Structure 1
Amino acid sequence: MRIFADKLASTLKRQLHPVYLLFGAEPLLIQESRDQIEHKAKSEGFSEVFRFSITAQTDWNEVFDACNSMSLFAEKKILQLELPESGTNQAITKELLNLHQILNPDVMLIVSGSKLTKAQENAKWFKALNSNGLWVSCLTPDIHRLPQFVLQRCHQLGLKPDTEAVQMLAQWHEGNLLALSQSLEKLCLLYPDGVLTLVRIESALSRHNHFTAFNWIDAMLEGKAKRSQRILRELHGEGVEAVILLRTLQKELNTLMSYKQELTSKNLQQVFDQYRVWNNKRPLYTAALNRHTPTTLYSMVCTLADAEHTVKTDYDNSVWPILTQLTLDMSMPRNA
């Protein structure tokens, strides 16, 4: 079973699972989820906590001993495993399966790690642990879910933001939930009455948003011209190398051209299934494929090649104006 991190608190009120899988790209949500589970488990008699950061050098006998050992008073135990950022290798996978075999009702297992790939989700160890556990998705909320996430956090702290305040908080903290948490705590101290307006936020806070090249790509695929231009300006201001953006865009254009080629003999659902496209990416690719023809995609690839040549050979001219034009071309309809 899978839930998002913001639903964990209500789930814990109803049931305590023997296994929790905390995976995602947002460290704040992983830590908060872990704390919530541990707090609930301790109230249910799980008083001992064993923590292991798994590496290639981990002595798994210590992990198994912690799982099997009986204390003087037979207390229940929480076993926390933090997987390496690079994911699991064959050796770790084998030990996780072995661990699954010896779990018992007196042991609660909490496994945490970075964002899962599709292959990892389908791995035998993950399916085994998830079969009698709860998978908590700790992904950073996207721009569509972020306002609701902000509103929920405000209510938890007794803050009462109006609609414009919620939108500003979301925009200023996109991709940086730790800064959002700190900003809300600051607002609690500044405004004891909890009322948040646009004016109050502007006078108390500064921008803490953080974008990646993937946010830029998603905005372009979705056809959000203003948003994609704003993200590009932020990336430029943060000192992101232009060549990284060029390579990222090149990959997406090649992907779109491959999809276009396949669409001559298959429908869109078949193409997405063939390439194993994530469900949350399918609407973005659908929007981009509906906007562009093979000709417009090829034209952008040619412009991209010129831009890469410029960035590598012509140090006197900036490539950012070309990136700006490519961003506009990618985001706008072909007849715009």
Structure 2
Amino acid sequence: MPSRLNDLSRLLAASELKPVWLIAGAEHLQVMEAADQLRARCRELGYAEREIHDVDHRFDWNELAMSGAAMSLFAMRRVIELRMPTGKPGREGSAAISAWCADPPPDTLLLITAQEWSRAHEGAWYKSVDKVGVAMPVWPLKREELPGWINARMKSRGLKATRDAVELLAERVEGNLLAAAQEIDKLSLLVGETTLDVETLEASVADDARFDVFRLTDAAIAGDASRALRMVGGLKAEGAEPIPLIGWLLSQLRVLSRLASAGGNISQAFQAERIWDAKQAGFRRALKAGNAAHWERCIVQAGLIDRISKGRAQGDAWREIERLISAIASPRAGADLLGAQS
């Protein structure tokens, strides 16, 4: 049976871990933190080696089999990670993962993470993982669940807050757990042992004028190119790394691509993607200005920037980010900038 995120502590408390783990979902913060907890437990149990494979359309699935067959250099336990953003390994990948699950290598833990997940992902390979290991889909929080998540996270950071303050923060972050986590970490430093009330929260959040990736993305999707580009300049001046920015931009571009391809009732599509009312106007504007093909081109551009940032392609990552932001904010005027590396 698939496991839930609430089961993680119990599963990690075991003296021996299951040989294969899948942690997947669009709630990137929860996926990331769950995977971090698993890695920490692996280190406690002597998994000293770690090997990472980034799965894209060019990935050679024979590498997984070769990794399983290879002996550890130091005869130690090891973790092999498959980072599979779309959660879709394809026919060859499905066969490779199923073969691994049929005969897991000794002293080796396979961790598969994905940034997209739905019931449609649950194919044969998923069932193989669930049979031999831990399959843990991370489903988006419902609106009514968000205050409880915020309250629990505040307590974990030693922060006490009134119920109204918790509700206000839930409203401000609009379902964005990464933004909520950022605000909670900041507030824990500002407030200390004092109970956080609405007035203090209002002042703290309203005075936060730093450029961040969430506001940048919102501005670009809403069509405010000049503001978004100023934010890019601010992030660059602050010494920000392009990779986290691209990760968030890519997730929003995939949402735009799915919405553009969905057809039918757009309100239902917004609900499925957990796009709150306050942000729907921006997404409607973007969908009217750019079609599905445009958003796919933007995704390709984001992939290029990711490779540049990791030293796998030539170019100026910040210049390409500016081109991507322009194309998001103004699909018709900025489309020609995509792929225009110079």
TM surpasses 0.5: yes
Paired position in structure 1 for 2:8: 8
Paired position in structure 1 for 2:160: 160
Contact 1:30 1:112 in 2 (8 A): yes
Cα displacement (A) at 1:241 = 2.0
Q: Which runs of 5+ in 1 are unaligned?
A: 222-227, 248-336
Mapped to 1, the partners of 2:7 and 2:171 lie a distance apart of 23
Mapped to 2, the partners of 1:6 and 1:22 lie a distance apart of 13
Mapped to 2, the partners of 1:98 and 1:179 lie a distance apart of 39
Cα displacement (A) at 1:48 = 0.5
SS in 2 for 1:112: strand
Mapped to 2, the partners of 1:80 and 1:106 lie a distance apart of 14
Residue type of the alignment partner of 1:110: L
SS in 2 for 1:110: strand
Contact 2:23 2:114 in 1 (8 A): yes
Mapped to 2, the partners of 1:243 and 1:220 lie a distance apart of 12
Cα displacement (A) at 1:163 = 1.1
After superposition, give the CA deviation of every residue in 1:274-316 in whole Å (9 maximum; x if it has no partner): xxxxxxxxxxxxxxxxxxxxxxxxxxxxxxxxxxxxxxxxxxx
Paired position in structure 2 for 1:183: 183
After superposition, give the CA deviation of every residue in 1:7-31 in whole Å (9 maximum; x if it has no partner): 4234322463222111111222121
Contact 1:8 1:33 in 2 (8 A): yes
SS in 1 for 2:30: helix
Contact 1:158 1:194 in 2 (8 A): no
Mapped to 1, the partners of 2:158 and 2:36 lie a distance apart of 21
Contact 1:87 1:114 in 2 (8 A): no
Contact 1:140 1:175 in 2 (8 A): no
1:92-131 aligned within 5 A:
92-121=93-122, 123-131=123-131
Cα displacement (A) at 1:126 = 0.7
Cα displacement (A) at 1:233 = 4.6
Mapped to 2, the partners of 1:39 and 1:175 lie a distance apart of 27
Mapped to 2, the partners of 1:204 and 1:194 lie a distance apart of 14
Paired position in structure 1 for 2:31: 30
Cα displacement (A) at 1:86 = 6.6
After superposition, give the CA deviation of every residue in 1:191-242 in whole Å (9 maximum; x if it has no partner): 121521111111101497989889x836999xxxxxx9x9445422x36328
The yes-or-no answer on 1:172 pairing with 2:145 is no
Residue type of the alignment partner of 1:25: A
Paired position in structure 2 for 1:66: 67
Give the aligned CA root-mean-square deviation in angstroms.
3.4
The yes-or-no answer on 1:217 pairing with 2:262 is no
Structure 1: 4+ residue segments shifted above 4 A: 206-214, 218-221
Mapped to 2, the partners of 1:143 and 1:103 lie a distance apart of 39
Mapped to 2, the partners of 1:187 and 1:193 lie a distance apart of 11
Paired position in structure 2 for 1:18: 19
Mapped to 2, the partners of 1:76 and 1:51 lie a distance apart of 15
Paired position in structure 1 for 2:285: 241
| Identical positions, percent | 26
After superposition, give the CA deviation of every residue in 1:98-138 in whole Å (9 maximum; x if it has no partner): 222331341111111133332321x1111011112222232
Cα distance change of structure 1 residues 106 and 239 upon mapping to structure 2, 3 Å threshold? closer
SS in 2 for 1:135: strand
Residue type of the alignment partner of 1:189: L
What's the TM-score once normalised by structure 2's chain length? 0.61
What's the TM-score once normalised by structure 1's chain length? 0.62
Contact 2:86 2:117 in 1 (8 A): no
SS in 1 for 2:148: helix
Paired position in structure 2 for 1:322: none
SS in 1 for 2:21: strand
Paired position in structure 2 for 1:261: none
Mapped to 1, the partners of 2:4 and 2:166 lie a distance apart of 20
Q: Which runs of 5+ in 2 are unaligned?
A: 209-213, 219-251, 292-342
Mapped to 2, the partners of 1:55 and 1:75 lie a distance apart of 29
Mapped to 1, the partners of 2:277 and 2:10 lie a distance apart of 38
Mapped to 1, the partners of 2:64 and 2:173 lie a distance apart of 38
Contact 2:270 2:276 in 1 (8 A): no
Residue type of the alignment partner of 1:240: R
Residue type of the alignment partner of 1:45: G
Mapped to 2, the partners of 1:48 and 1:243 lie a distance apart of 45
Paired position in structure 2 for 1:51: 52
Contact 1:160 1:194 in 2 (8 A): yes
Contact 1:162 1:196 in 2 (8 A): yes
SS in 1 for 2:132: coil
Cα displacement (A) at 1:59 = 2.6
After superposition, give the CA deviation of every residue in 1:258-285 in whole Å (9 maximum; x if it has no partner): xxxxxxxxxxxxxxxxxxxxxxxxxxxx
After superposition, give the CA deviation of every residue in 1:52-80 in whole Å (9 maximum; x if it has no partner): 01123223333222222222432111111
